Structure 1
Amino acid sequence: MSHPTTTPRRTATSSTPGQPSNWAPAAPATVLLTVLGVLMVGQMYTVLALLNPMAAALGTTPAQATWTATAFGFAYAAGFLLSGPLSDRYGPRAVITAGLVAAAATTAAVSTAPNLPTAIALRSLQGLTAATFAPSALSYVVHHVAPRRRGTALACITSGMLAAAVVMQIGAQAVAAGIGWRAVFWLGAALMALSLAPVRRVLRPTPRHGTDCGLLQAFAAMPRLLRQPRLSALYLSTVALMSAFVALYTAVAIAGPPSIAGDSSAILALRASALPSLVAVPLLAPVLQRLRAPLRAVLAFALAALTVAAGSFLGGHTVPLAIALLLFVAAVAAAAPAVVETVNADAPHARGAAVALYGCSMFVGASLGPQLTGALTGLGFGGILLVVAAVLVLGVLLALPTLGRRPAARRG
């Protein structure tokens, strides 16, 4: 997403002490995009808290109902490959606006599903339309937020997207307990529709002359990026990270530790216990950014693997498990912006395609997570966590080649 018209602007303003007039105000955009990240990305995770009531209403089992998460995730991943180039061509605000309209319609439609096959089909459409948000949000930050504020903005937005796994499960569980699981999707659709006004008011449009690269050029960049060994390995490590992240939360929902299995309040508390880490990581962004992005990514992956491995030996001890989950989610939250920064640095002339491939790899992993847990339920909660830890170790190994990249000069 590096456009000829935007390069001089960054060069001219990156050294200005104050907020340059031609950079968008960072704070309101960051807050809006973070909140929308929770809402839009959270549509992936709502069903993890609804598996039992959905299964009962749709005439299936909770394990089979996980396909509603998988279908959404694969469609979401495919949607990234379209929405990244669309954002380059038409501008992030335009794509976010159109995507909110389409996602509101498909989200409302999910609530009408009479059976599992229909629910899977509608969730696929929902995933495809919801995919318009994340690449466009990241693109907006790269092109409209001043470099000195960009790292914090990325940390907030990616943490919000990860917080969606916790916040939206908690919200969905509460709404379903009060007025039924179908209301979760009606409420989500209404919030998307209400978001249109602040999006148009807060976000700046991208000048049309800055998007003359065309769709074909953006799509053509993707194969070139995948031929770069370090980038390909980093994308695969992201698949490993996100499959582990979703597998762990799915395991809590359908194979929970003995001390909390069947206790909705205990499961809710365990999910909520990770939220402080998603607040702490953006606050610590200035400190974390003293480390090179590739090193931050590798260290975060390693911490995630260690905490999940430790969690597998904690059995039904809820408090130590909650601490392990807190550290795990903090590691994932620290890894995400580090990976985005590394991807952007390795693809300065094809950022739209690079971020689209990153998002695709994220949600391919997120889609595989529920199926990984479903296939391993016979191992019990501790056994599932051991396998998840092994997946994360593979992610560490795949991320290691990025350490060999020489630090590039700071780009706007």
Structure 2
Amino acid sequence: MSHPTPTTSLPLTPTKSPGPAAIAPNTLDQPPSWAPAAPTIALLTALGVLMVGQMYTVLALLHPMATALGTAPEQVTWTATAFGFAYAAGFLLAGPLSDRYGSRAVITTGLVAATAATLAVSAAPDLPTAIALRSLQGLTTATFAPAALSYVVHHIAPQRRGTALTCITSGMFAAAVLLQIGAQAVAAGLGWRAVFWLSAALMALSLIPVRRVLRPTLRHGTGGGLSQAFAAMPRLLGRPRMVALYLSTVALMSSFVAIYTAVAIAGPSGIAGNSSAILALRASALPALVAIPVLARLLQRLAAPLRAVLAFALAALTVAAGSFLGGHTVPLALALLLFVAAVAAAAPAVVETINATAPHARGAAVALYGCSMFIGASLGPQLTGALTGLGFGGILRVVAATLVLGILLALPALRHHRAR
């Protein structure tokens, strides 16, 4: 789940490094010296997997949670939906807060709050309480992604930013796979509540490297980041091409999560009930999430709108093909591999297009992008739940149609780019 995205000005392609005279001390965008790239990228990528992955842990826990909470797996999908909607709302708040108070402060505060909320989820006695606590967890974990990517923009040297952003966003997409695999393994041995205990412990321990590796953002004056970011949002939503890009993001992320939910609760024929086969399907996408960052420089030779359209098309084709593969694990795994690769390529292409479309309001534009991502991620489980009667193949065909809609929504940006 690319999920993942920046909330401030994000030049996704390298820019010229400023000369000594341009690097004035004590300014927001030009710190006295750039932060070390390698430890920063490693820390933020690992935290991205942990924090964004909380959205997806329950997809591997639907059956044990349903048994413990006295409900059906289809009803437990609401814990993913509640998390996603709260995460989307939190994204709109976290971006301006990072602009106003600094990325490290927001990440630190968010980790403390998310630790408490995650522990609370582990104690949920029934489904309504679990849904409410997952909403709180989504709101608190939403502080990480905007602040982390804002930190990259302000503290990593321009020639390293493209690599940093690609690694961190790929980690956020990898979270959808890694945290499902981890949650399935932990739940099998220790029960589903232990998944949240372990997640909370890792969040708390992460505070140590965050304070040691990340630098505080230097600020002077009040800046007005909050009011400026919020004021720009209604203007952006009045631009049809921007709205189309946001809706394409909803289509992309709802498809992404719907596929993984379908694997968990709709079970392709011959694989349903086989935990080893389901685990193999979940893990099959991992090579794609490694390959996309490696191929980032090559992919960036294509214009961002063209990359987005081509990636949507590949995703639609692979899902459509997968719908006819039945319970054959290996071909399905290959289709899922290509699908996840397409999603991981599409997400940064869309955010780069948004950056170029709104150069004077990038913070607000990309905050809305992050919000649309998690609205889509929230709708994915409900899409699958509503279509379970169609079977695994039928769900995949509807998802393929949703991705075709995403292509149509991304086309205006491509036409505008070519005309310009």
Aligned to 1:282: 293
Instruction: Report how far residue 11 of structure 1 moved.
Output: 4.6
CA spacing shift, 1:200–1:405, aligned 2, 3 Å? farther
CA spacing shift, 1:199–1:147, aligned 2, 3 Å? same
Letter in structure 1 aligned against 2:382: Q
Instruction: Report how far residue 229 of structure 1 moved.
Output: 2.0
CA spacing shift, 1:99–1:268, aligned 2, 3 Å? same
Q: What percentage of residue pairs aligned between the two structures are identical?
A: 82
CA spacing shift, 1:13–1:314, aligned 2, 3 Å? farther
CA RMSD after TM alignment = 2.2
The farther-off stretch of 372-381 and 152-161 is 152-161
2:71 is the alignment partner of 1:35: no
Distance in structure 2 (CA, Å) of the matches to 1:392 and 1:186 = 36
Does the Cα contact within 8 Å between 1:111 and 1:186 map onto a contact in 2?
Answer: yes
Instruction: Report how far residue 210 of structure 1 moved.
Output: 7.8
Instruction: Report how far residue 173 of structure 1 moved.
Output: 0.4
Aligned to 1:145: 156
Instruction: Report how far residue 394 of structure 1 moved.
Output: 0.4
The farther-off stretch of 148-157 and 128-137 is 148-157
Aligned to 1:386: 397
Give SS of 1:66's match.
Answer: helix
Letter in structure 2 aligned against 1:63: E
* Unaligned ranges ≥5, structure 2: 1-7, 24-30
Does the Cα contact within 8 Å between 1:75 and 1:127 map onto a contact in 2?
Answer: yes
The farther-off stretch of 361-370 and 195-204 is 195-204
Instruction: Report how far residue 401 of structure 1 moved.
Output: 1.4
Does the Cα contact within 8 Å between 2:100 and 2:225 map onto a contact in 1?
Answer: yes
Aligned to 2:355: 344
**Counterpart selection for 1:205 from 200, 216, 222:** 216
* Unaligned ranges ≥5, structure 1: 408-412
Aligned to 2:376: 365
The farther-off stretch of 289-298 and 278-287 is 289-298
| TM-score (ref. length: structure 2) | 0.91
Does the Cα contact within 8 Å between 1:91 and 1:211 map onto a contact in 2?
Answer: no
2:277 is the alignment partner of 1:266: yes
Aligned to 1:177: 188
Letter in structure 2 aligned against 1:331: A
| TM-score (ref. length: structure 1) | 0.93
Give SS of 1:338's match.
Answer: helix
Q: Superposition pairs for residues 231-310 of structure 1, below 5 Å?
A: 231-310=242-321
Give SS of 2:220's match.
Answer: helix
Instruction: Report how far residue 15 of structure 1 moved.
Output: 11
Distance in structure 1 (CA, Å) of the matches to 2:58 and 2:64 = 10
Aligned to 2:5: none
Give SS of 1:208's match.
Answer: coil
Aligned residues: 401
Does the Cα contact within 8 Å between 2:17 and 2:159 map onto a contact in 1?
Answer: no
**Counterpart selection for 2:118 from 107, 128, 133:** 107
CA spacing shift, 1:360–1:83, aligned 2, 3 Å? same
Aligned to 1:410: none
Q: Superposition pairs for residues 10-21 of structure 1, below 5 Å?
A: 11-12=18-19
Aligned to 2:413: 402
**Counterpart selection for 1:335 from 346, 358, 373:** 346
Does the Cα contact within 8 Å between 1:87 and 1:352 map onto a contact in 2?
Answer: no
Does the Cα contact within 8 Å between 1:347 and 1:354 map onto a contact in 2?
Answer: yes
1:286-325 Cα distance to aligned partner (Å, 9 max, x none)? 1111111121111111111111011011111111110000
Distance in structure 1 (CA, Å) of the matches to 2:166 and 2:21 = 19
Aligned to 2:176: 165
